[in-house]
Structure 1
Amino acid sequence: MKTLVVRLSLAFASAVLALLPCYSWSQVALPAQDDAVHTSALVTRWGRVVTPENAWQSYPRPGMRRERWRNLNGEWDYAIRPKAEPRPTRMDGRILVPFAVESKLSGVARKVGPEDRIWYRRSFAVPGDWLGERIMLHFGAVDFEAHVLVNGGLVGSHRGGSDTFAFDITDYLKPGNNELVVQVTDPTSAGAQPRGKQQLTPKSIWYTPVSGIWQTVWLEPVPSLHIEDVNVTPDIDAGALDVDVVLNRSTGNGHAVRITAKVGGKTVSSTIVRANRRARLPVPNARLWSPDDPYLYDLDVELVAVTDPLQHLENGPREEALITKAEAEAYRTAQVTGAPLDAVRSYFAMRKSSLGPGKVAGQPMLLLNNRPVFQNGTLDQGWWPDGLLTPPSEEAIAYEIDFLKKAGFNMLRKHIKIEPAHYYYLADTMGILIWQDMPSGEEEDSLDQFVRPKASDEALMPARVTDEFEYELLRMISDLRDHPSIVTWVVNNEGWGQYASTRLGHMVKALDPSRTVNKTSGWLDTGDAGSDIFDIHTYEEVPNAPAHNRRRAIVLGEFGGIGLPVEGHLWFPDQRNWGYQTAKDRDDYLQRYRRKYAEVIRQARELGLSAAVYTQTSDVEGEVNGLLTYDREVSKLPAESFARIHAPLFERGAE
């Protein structure tokens, strides 16, 4: 089929696409518009087979599964209007959710400015067997400010570009079809909100903006009283798992939570606790999770009714027994009545991330399960030529993680981007360590918010900006803390909007003591307090070495950046693409790569270097520093060649 070129209105183009039973994104050229986004000809192999029927159909919250749910991904109506205008009477066309407006896979590829508002509309019906339950409407992520209406009623609003949110829409529903409208505004780089590398004028290390819905939208029925959150923290030293189960509201003595750890359907241990209480579950002879053995346990969490366990307490009023050992013991042996009122299925791993002695005296190292394991990673930016921040499919994620493991990497630094939950689930099941960055935020070209390497102090930011950043930082940790693959939180990158890093480092450690914290990756280091890691960025031909530090692990938070453009796989085929250094050909690339890793290996052996993060997993737009091309079709070297170069980092005695 020849390329279909459409030069009519966007609405007409969307109508054409809607009529195609299974269109190929590589064969449909988006129409020329004054507000068109550059998308290039690049499409991944996974993007070529995306359809409205198969777009992101996996369960969107793998760590908290219920049996019943309904996916709302697919084709929605959309319109882009000035944000001061009222709701449009006519829509512009169709958009494929969950892909952002600017992306090729959305079928739109239009610019959205700070003065614009995106309108989404679709209808849905609630399955008949959900009647009598509360109906939750979930969003994986919407960038940036969303207002959600059902049948004309405002059910809620949310600010934040990367975190999950949900609304109870039960009271707004009617029999039959219901109308769902989502309106979104996004200042992108005109604001200082967390946004990572999105910029209204993409260039160099700054990329195409992402606006609107960019992760899965879905419905879920729950009982009036239900499980809202499950948090797990492994303690391998004690052979136990701490489990915090929180209901959507408080309740009386007659409700409890039954928690059961299983392997292959067989119970490892089980306990019952009062609702909204902490629990500790023994996990004897635990099999530890690692990249070499990503072993996961199943976890069943059930809300159950019990005969009041406190009714027979003899010593003092029952109120005095609350949150005591007596209460815990009474509930542990409580009599369960009837079937579970609510149930979720989860999983966990027994894994420890910490700081401790290494092989070089006086130089602490990053430990995995109480032993030094060199963390060899890539800077993984998570951008795709067809989906931008949204991976084209779950299979695309699995391919990339598998490639990194075959290439001899056991870690990736998820660079100032938060992925869909399914990404971390695959990392958990496939076995790769993750340093999770908080997305940075600052205004475009803002000199007073950009902290340079030789600065003597950090920036001052308005309270509305710091409040937004800290809220999203809290939400990131809340959303992701149960994933064993995540071993380090990275609070700030290269002074981009850097403020109060020591206070923020302490805050993150208080929120999650079970992981290491890297408060500043690269550039302005603010001392040992609030951080487990001393991190430098070095793009020299031979990487510089971080200074010895008696209190923190030393790491190369970024290095490498060998550029090698591959014809036929470029975002800008007619422009000069760039790398921190540019290789003449593959032989030159190989020699440069070997030279850099020879120094990393030396630093690991002689200086006690704990980790190195190579820039980067794939090319991104005009940046050709990747191990893979932007479409993930070509590896600059065979995966086996990368693995052979990295092998000395993992030899016995090297760790």
Structure 2
Amino acid sequence: MRSIGIQTTYNIYSWFSTSFTVPSNWTGSNVLLNFGAIDYEATVFVNGHNATFHRGGYFAFTVDVTSYLSSGANELLVFVHDPTDEDPYVIPIGKQTLHPSHIFYTPCSGIWQSVWIESAPSTYITELDISASIDGTVNATISTSSSNGSTVSVSIVDRSSDNTVATHSGTAGSPFTFTVSSPKLWSPSAPDLYDVVVTIDGDTVYSYTGFRTISKGVVNGIERPLLNGEFIFLFGTLDQGFWPDGIYVPPNREAMVYDLQTLKNLGFNMVRKHIKVENALFYQACDEMGLMVIQDMPALRPLQSETLSNCTVETILPDDAQQAEFGRQLELLVKQQRPFPSIITWIIYNEGWGQRLDYYPEFGLTDLVRQIDPTRLIDSTTGWYDHGAGDFSDNHHYANPQCGSPFYSIQSSPYDPSRIGFQGEFGGIGYNVSIDHLWNVQEAINTINQTYELDLTIDAWNYRGHRLLGELLDQVKMYACSGGVWTQTTDVEGEVNGLLTYDRRVLRPNVAQWQSDIQALYAAGAARSNASTPALSFL
């Protein structure tokens, strides 16, 4: 994976051009053209033929281009339209904006994930939908290009021994189940994975899965998230996924994995992928290192307003067609990402961004996600406008936490004991650094003082972190806090509140201190699972 880019900014319309030659030994095979993601609308031409159109900046798509090919070099043209937050568009963009300012960042346009061709037989596998649960049950639906109804073979292979532990034949295009006896379970402490081999006719596809079950249940009178039937306190960072040299694209896989390994080393067991969808290699790394993922749906145009002809100001929200498109892309997100065992929760809305209030769309969207993927939890509204949908009662508050507690801010609703008490965002404390480690754009530097809290020394920053984690610890011990998200993994542009600076060269935390504080959260959560350990209270 290389970050090259076209090195321009704010491209509303772009053309991408290249040529490719099909290997001579692919004669007689179908040729598939694959795109990891293009932001936002893409029309693909092969040798002058309109091969396909795709809308949605975060989702992979494939087109069979066999009938458009010629011998020798083939011309590939991709026309991209990416309006970001240009009027009148209200589309999923996450934190991208044409007008960067503090918590909203430089946009990424066009082809931002890998493009590749592959050969396939006349009937080939198009989609694997495989999940595996704590009792050894494997649920599978294998889709093909043309022969749904044919027999498909699935083998499960133990990675540690390379032994095949189960083989099953099912019908392509229809769901089927089978069982693996006494599987090793996936968890943050033991991220065991099994390889999967799928074969139909002349096509074979390799993948993997992990045996684990995500659920919720009452533990000692409190609604809790459960992994493999046990309450594990969820603690991670808000992970933006922005880079100073590639915006949405890391310079290489090693750099991307470094961020995750840093979190794992500090003791975090979870990461909240914040209103962005990453390259598949990101989720594979989380699967392999045992880092749970809470996955956001990229937000619609956030926190922008318009002045009407009568001089009143209103928030820009989606119309009916834009709302329907948001739902369609939410479905794409869940279907594309659901094979990754590390993903434990879907988030639909972040802080009311793009959330209509003339009715409560989160209820219908929660039902949609539940229907597509009943194996995970749903955080319907993280922060702000919570009307009772989903599995989480989620509070945002800076800098101090207010998690499952009898106090709350006006930006979140009171804790609802029928759902999981969760601190969707807190922390956000900042420490400024030299220009060597900053995003060297004056407009961004001018917004540093908008950080929730600025600490003048690194010792003060670590002291404040210790105190805030201590407050969260009290709320785990005393109240109904089941998890939290610290803001954030890295600095981004004008934000200096990361564990790492934007260039990833400075790690702010005192490692031993943070490891100790984070382990204390897990220990307190485990203690609350013990029926003999009552909640603490102040007299």
TM-score (norm 2): 0.89
Match of 2:311 in 1: none
- Partners in 2 of 1:443 and 1:357 — Cα distance? 35
Match of 1:380 in 2: 239
Match of 1:366 in 2: 225
SS at match of 2:504: coil
- Check if 1:533 corresponds to 2:392: yes
CA 1:113–1:267 in 2, change beyond 3 Å: closer, same or farther?
A: closer
- Check if 1:589 corresponds to 2:461: yes
Give, in angstroms, the shift of residue 270 of structure 1.
Answer: 0.8
Return the match for 1:265 from 116, 141, 162. Answer: 162
- Partners in 2 of 1:393 and 1:280 — Cα distance? 38
Return the match for 1:163 from 56, 59, 62. Answer: 59
Match of 1:571 in 2: 439
**Which is higher, the Rg of structure 1 or of structure 2?**
1
Return the match for 2:14 from 118, 123, 136. Answer: 118
SS at match of 1:468: helix
Match of 1:509 in 2: 370
Q: Is the 8 A contact 2:303 2:353 kept in 1?
A: no
Match of 1:395 in 2: 254
The AA in structure 2 aligned to 1:275 is A
Return the match for 1:149 from 27, 32, 45. Answer: 45
Q: Is the 8 A contact 1:351 1:369 kept in 2?
A: yes
Give, in angstroms, the shift of residue 447 of structure 1.
Answer: 5.4
Match of 1:554 in 2: 421
- Partners in 2 of 1:278 and 1:377 — Cα distance? 34
Return the match for 1:241 from 132, 138, 150. Answer: 138
Match of 1:488 in 2: 345
Match of 1:180 in 2: 76
CA deviation string 1:593-631 (max 9, x = no partner):
111111111111221211100000000001011011001
Question: Which has the higher mean CA deviation after the structures are superposed, 239-248 or 413-422?
Answer: 239-248
Q: Is the 8 A contact 2:299 2:349 kept in 1?
A: yes
The AA in structure 2 aligned to 1:614 is W
- Partners in 2 of 1:541 and 1:271 — Cα distance? 52
Please report the RMSD computed on the Cα atoms of aligned residues, expressed in angstroms.
Answer: 2.0
Return the match for 1:421 from 280, 283, 302. Answer: 280
Give, in angstroms, the shift of residue 277 of structure 1.
Answer: 2.5
SS at match of 2:166: strand
CA deviation string 1:352-376 (max 9, x = no partner):
11111224x2x20111111000001
- Partners in 1 of 2:237 and 2:425 — Cα distance? 8
- Partners in 2 of 1:270 and 1:292 — Cα distance? 28
- Check if 1:280 corresponds to 2:177: yes
The AA in structure 2 aligned to 1:625 is N
Q: Is the 8 A contact 1:130 1:221 kept in 2?
A: yes
Return the match for 2:91 from 182, 186, 193. Answer: 193
The AA in structure 2 aligned to 1:206 is F
- Partners in 2 of 1:542 and 1:166 — Cα distance? 44
CA 1:446–1:258 in 2, change beyond 3 Å: closer, same or farther?
A: same
CA deviation string 1:573-595 (max 9, x = no partner):
76342421011111111121111
Q: Is the 8 A contact 1:541 1:596 kept in 2?
A: yes
The AA in structure 1 aligned to 2:319 is P
Match of 1:207 in 2: 105
- Partners in 1 of 2:299 and 2:16 — Cα distance? 27
CA deviation string 1:56-91 (max 9, x = no partner):
4xxxxxxxxxxxxxxxxxxxxxxxxxxxxxxxxxxx
- Partners in 2 of 1:430 and 1:448 — Cα distance? 49
Match of 2:29 in 1: 133
Residues matched between the structures, number: 501
- Partners in 2 of 1:206 and 1:494 — Cα distance? 14
Q: Is the 8 A contact 2:215 2:377 kept in 1?
A: yes
- Partners in 2 of 1:431 and 1:558 — Cα distance? 22
- Partners in 1 of 2:249 and 2:432 — Cα distance? 24
Give, in angstroms, the shift of residue 541 of structure 1.
Answer: 4.2
- Partners in 2 of 1:291 and 1:300 — Cα distance? 25
Q: Is the 8 A contact 1:541 1:592 kept in 2?
A: no
Structure 1: state its 5+ residue gaps. Answer: 1-54, 57-98, 100-104, 305-340, 450-457
CA 1:582–1:172 in 2, change beyond 3 Å: closer, same or farther?
A: same
CA 1:633–1:654 in 2, change beyond 3 Å: closer, same or farther?
A: farther
- Partners in 1 of 2:287 and 2:198 — Cα distance? 20
Equivalence map 1:289-300=2 (5 Å): 289-300=186-197
Q: Is the 8 A contact 1:548 1:607 kept in 2?
A: no
Give, in angstroms, the shift of residue 459 of structure 1.
Answer: 8.6
- Partners in 1 of 2:508 and 2:18 — Cα distance? 43
Equivalence map 1:19-30=2 (5 Å): none
CA 1:542–1:439 in 2, change beyond 3 Å: closer, same or farther?
A: closer
- Check if 1:518 corresponds to 2:379: yes
CA 1:121–1:387 in 2, change beyond 3 Å: closer, same or farther?
A: same
Identical positions, percent: 39
Give, in angstroms, the shift of residue 443 of structure 1.
Answer: 6.8
Give, in angstroms, the shift of residue 549 of structure 1.
Answer: 2.6
Match of 2:519 in 1: 647
The AA in structure 1 aligned to 2:527 is G
Give, in angstroms, the shift of residue 227 of structure 1.
Answer: 1.0
CA deviation string 1:517-558 (max 9, x = no partner):
00000001011x4x0101010004464646443321010000
Structure 2: state its 5+ residue gaps. Answer: 309-314, 409-413, 530-539
Q: Is the 8 A contact 2:400 2:471 kept in 1?
A: no
The AA in structure 1 aligned to 2:69 is L
Match of 1:442 in 2: 301
Question: Which has the higher mean CA deviation after the structures are superposed, 642-651 or 136-145?
Answer: 642-651
